[in-house]
Chains A and B, each alone.
Chain A
Amino acid sequence: GQNIDQPTEMTATEGAIVQINCTYQTSGFNGLFWYQQHAGEAPTFLSYNVLDGLEEKGRFSSFLSRSKGYSYLLLKELQMKDSASYLCAKVGREYGNKLVFGAGTILRVKS
């Protein structure tokens, strides 16, 4: 199957740290993408992980564990503008080399 699971919604406070988890079935897996999408806008590329471990890009970091079928997106020093939907998507030959998306996690940042 191609199940990708993310929490539906999360709420966090401005300035805090939040971790958004994503689990997926590992068969045929090649890599995992994270996108940010503000309401009414296009998804914006955040990261792509192929190897195990943590990759840091400014306030955003993404982690992957291939053996566990698990990834997370870590957002530090939250800002109000980080309120958005966060989408994880996997890619792999078994799913035809296309992005297969989870339903997304709506993050609400409150002051």
Chain B
Amino acid sequence: NAGVMQNPRHLVRRRGQEARLRCSPMKGHSHVYWYRQLPEEGLKFMVYLQKENIIDESGMPKERFSAEFPKEGPSILRIQQVVRGDSAAYFCASSPQVLNTEAFFGQGTRLTVV
């Protein structure tokens, strides 16, 4: 049973380009959570999704950021017109249902905006 898979592991984008980060949850998990982590800081919640539904996007910036979790395929975090301040590690976690047991994280995508 593969763990949470994120790709790419590292992504370099020039200012103004788009970044697409992918997360495949563990098999049997239907809940996905995206977090952002700046160097030497804690994990900041961004968005919580179930299949085809956004449950909570209270941590997402209002502009340029969007997320989806389609019926088929991975969850996608999309950042349009990236700026230097978007450089961070983006982690996703998945759980089988509403969080009451355990939640596992992927290896993260490290986005660098140059």
Is B65's CB within 8 Å of the partner chain A? Answer: no
A99 touching B98, Cβ below 8 Å = no
Number of residue pairs spanning A and B whose beta carbons lie under 8 angstroms apart: 61
A22 to chain B, nearest CB (A): 12
Q: Interface digits, B27-69 against A, CB 8 Å rule (1 contact, 0 not)?
A: 0000001010000011111001000000110100000000000
A54 to B114 Cα, complex, angstroms: 47
Contacts of B98 in A (CB 8 A): 97
Q: A45-B104, A99-B33 are in contact. Are A87 and B99 (CB under 8 A)?
A: no
Which residues of chain B come closer than 8 Å to A43, judged between CB atoms? 43, 91, 105
Residue numbers of A with Cβ under 8 A of B are: 30-31, 33, 35, 41-45, 48, 50, 87, 89, 91, 96-104
